[in-house]
Amino acid sequence: MQGVIKAYDPVARDGIVVRDTDLAEFDLAPDALEGSVFRMLRQGQRVIFDLDDEGRATRLRLGSEVDMGTPVLDPEGAPRGDRPTSA
């Protein structure tokens, strides 16, 4: 799942992530950052996450541009499929 960090307390390691698809909010699991590149989270930071058995966000990670839905640009800088073709 993809989402955005709504809040994060680095001392308590508590936080909330909002899922992109339906704006549902999920608390961070205590182990949410274990094994990830994250040491801190900031409000508005985009992440990919899973849900644990208790419905908490876990396994936070960075997504690739494909995962985050970033348009792929052709070599001339236009999104693929948006550049008119010449005949």
Give the chain's domains with CATH numbers: 2-61 (2.40.50)
Above 80 in pLDDT, residue 1? Answer: yes
Q: Are the C-beta atoms of 41 and 15 separated by less than 8 Å?
A: yes
DSSP 38-52: -S---TT-EEEEEE-
Q: Are the C-beta atoms of 54 and 32 separated by less than 8 Å?
A: no
The pLDDT tens digits for 4-51 are 999 999 899 899 999 999 999 999 999 999 888 888 899 999 999 999
How distant, in Å, are the alpha carbons of 11, 14, 17, 55, 73 from that of 49? 21, 15, 9, 11, 26
pLDDT of res. 41: 92
Cα–chain-centroid distance for residue 37? 13
pLDDT of res. 40: 86
Q: What are phi and psi of 42, to 5 degrees?
A: -125, 155
Of the two residues 57 and 83, the one the predictor is more confident about is 57
The pLDDT tens digits for 41-69 are 999 999 999 999 999 999 999 865 455 55
Of the two residues 79 and 51, the one the predictor is more confident about is 51
